[in-house]
């Protein structure tokens, strides 16, 4: 009884050391180093990441086909053909819209830019009613002097104005205050023209670089179906290949490590996909109720953009707000209703959807999550924001189990004993050869 209690105490101590501050420091440093490394090879990391997402989307279908009696290779082939047909049909559906937008991108860009400038000017005017510091400075009046009128006439006119309580003064010339008509509209038009000129300059300057960058990413994106196919076909074989190189003393923990890492990745990406579907449905229904064109299309874009923490949600909201301001210029309150819809869906994400989907897979404190997102953005930029959570989840599981391996005296003793047996066996064979 005492021996069992002692072993339980030592096991609890090992788990405490495995999740201690030194292990967590190693987890954070390793995560940052991996983010920097992935940033340098982003052209390869992004296809692998998207292929992993596709793998966890399609693996239930492969398992279902194998349960019907099909071999793994045939099940993977059938699922891949179904995915190719689905993507081809989706491309045929989206091709007319994409081609029309590509042909008229310059005029659409100018139109959306003007709508955005008008929306910003209207928002500033509305906020200025409640926040005086946001009001535009009053335009300076233009002074028109009548040089044919004698000076004493101006002085008499000024005295008369004082007598009547109107602006004027003795010894000052009478002035006529003429303000420019519709100054807000002039400022909006001037801002729109300036922004259009900047967009035209940026387009002419960077259009070639953008085209080259797109061509640079095309071969990488073509790797996604290729990688997905071999992940589905040979994933278990690759795992067995790695496990064979593990010493026998660490076999059980290493097998548990592989299970935990794969389970962590699977649950994270499946939770992320479920969260994307829920966000897309909520946003699509809300945008349809508000009367926007193609509500579920824009909801799907915004839900996928939300994979980038915080910045993606803000960018998706701004995109839909700009579309609402452009398509419905007479509906003044529609952009603000769209903002309210996005805020409501974001609150549902934080308090309902995310704890039920992604939150169940990571088991991370919210403070650690926020700090690691900020650290990932500071270390690796946009790619760090996108990759920090899955990388942290995998490194956290690996770090905790490796910490348990390092601090488990029983496993280390077994490993030392196995090495000693191998050494003695080699010596015995050597002596037998000499005899």
The whole-angstrom separation of Cα 55 and Cα 232 is 6
Report CA dihedral (305, 310, 311, 317) to the nearest 10 degrees: 60
Neighbour-count burial of 199, counting CB atoms closer than 10 A to its CB (0-12 exposed, 13-18 middle, 19+ buried): middle
Domains of the chain by residue range? 1-36+364-435, 41-137+193-245, 140-179
The whole-angstrom separation of Cα 339 and Cα 278 is 18
Structure-token pair, residue 246 = 């593990």
Per-residue pLDDT of the chain (435 residues), as tens digits, is 444 444 444 444 444 444 577 888 888 899 999 999 988 888 888 888 888 888 888 888 898 989 988 888 999 999 888 888 888 888 888 788 777 776 776 677 777 777 877 777 777 777 767 666 556 555 555 555 554 544 444 444 444 444 444 444 444 444 444 444 455 555 556 655 666 666 666 666 655 566 666 677 777 778 888 888 888 888 878 878 877 777 777 777 778 877 888 887 888 888 888 889 999 999 999 999 999 988 998 999 999 988 887 788 898 999 999 899 888 888 888 999 999 999 999 888 878 887 777 766 666 777 777 788 888 888 888 888 888 888 888 888 888 777 777 777 787 788 788 888 878 877 776 665 555
Of 316, 233, 303, residue with least CA distance to 275: 303
The whole-angstrom separation of Cα 84 and Cα 1 is 61
């Amino acid at each position: 009884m005492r021996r069992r209690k002692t072993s339980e105490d030592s096991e609890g101590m090992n788990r405490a050391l495995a999740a201690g501050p030194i292990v967590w420091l190693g987890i954070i440093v390793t995560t940052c180093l991996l983010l920097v490394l992935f940033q340098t090879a982003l052209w390869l990391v992004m296809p692998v990441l998207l292929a992993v997402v596709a793998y966890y989307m399609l693996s239930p279908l492969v398992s279902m086909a194998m349960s019907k009696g099909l071999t793994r290779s045939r099940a993977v082939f059938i699922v891949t053909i179904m995915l190719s047909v689905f993507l081809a049909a989706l491309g045929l559906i989206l091709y007319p819209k994409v081609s029309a937008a590509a042909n008229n991108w310059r005029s659409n860009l100018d139109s959306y830019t003007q709508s955005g400038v008008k929306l910003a000017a209207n928002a500033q005017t509305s906020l200025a009613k409640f926040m005086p510091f946001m009001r535009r400075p009053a335009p300076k009046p233009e002074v028109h002097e009548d040089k044919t009128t004698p000076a004493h006439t101006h002085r008499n006119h000024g005295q008369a104005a004082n007598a009547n309580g109107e602006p004027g003064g003795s010894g000052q010339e009478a002035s006529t205050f003429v303000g420019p008509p519709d100054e807000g509209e002039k400022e909006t038009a001037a801002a729109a023209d300036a922004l259009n000129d900047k967009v035209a300059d940026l387009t002419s300057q960077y259009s070639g670089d953008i085209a080259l960058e797109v061509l640079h990413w095309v071969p990488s994106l073509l790797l996604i179906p290729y990688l997905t196919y071999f992940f589905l076909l040979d994933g278990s074989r690759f795992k067995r290949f790695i496990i064979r190189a593990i010493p026998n003393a660490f076999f059980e923990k290493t097998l548990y490590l592989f299970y935990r890492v794969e389970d962590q990745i699977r649950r994270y990406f499946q939770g992320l996909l479920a969260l994307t579907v829920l966000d897309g449905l909520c946003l699509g229904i809300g945008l349809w109720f508000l009367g926007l064109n193609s509500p579920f299309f824009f909801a799907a874009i915004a839900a996928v953009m939300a994979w980038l923490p915080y910045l993606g949600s803000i960018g998706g909201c701004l995109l839909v707000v700009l579309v609402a301001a452009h398509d419905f210029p007479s509906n003044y309150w529609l952009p603000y209703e769209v903002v309210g819809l996005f805020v409501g869906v974001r609150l549902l994400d934080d308090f309902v959807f995310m704890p039920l989907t992604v939150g169940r897979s990571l088991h991370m404190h919210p403070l650690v999550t926020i700090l690691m997102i900020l650290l990932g953005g500071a270390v690796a930029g946009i790619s760090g924001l996108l990759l920090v959570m899955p990388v942290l989840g995998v490194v956290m599981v690996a770090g905790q189990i490796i910490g348990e391996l390092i601090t488990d005296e029983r496993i280390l003793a077994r490993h030392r004993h196995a090495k000693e047996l191998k050494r003695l066996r080699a010596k015995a064979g050597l002596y037998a050869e000499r005899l």
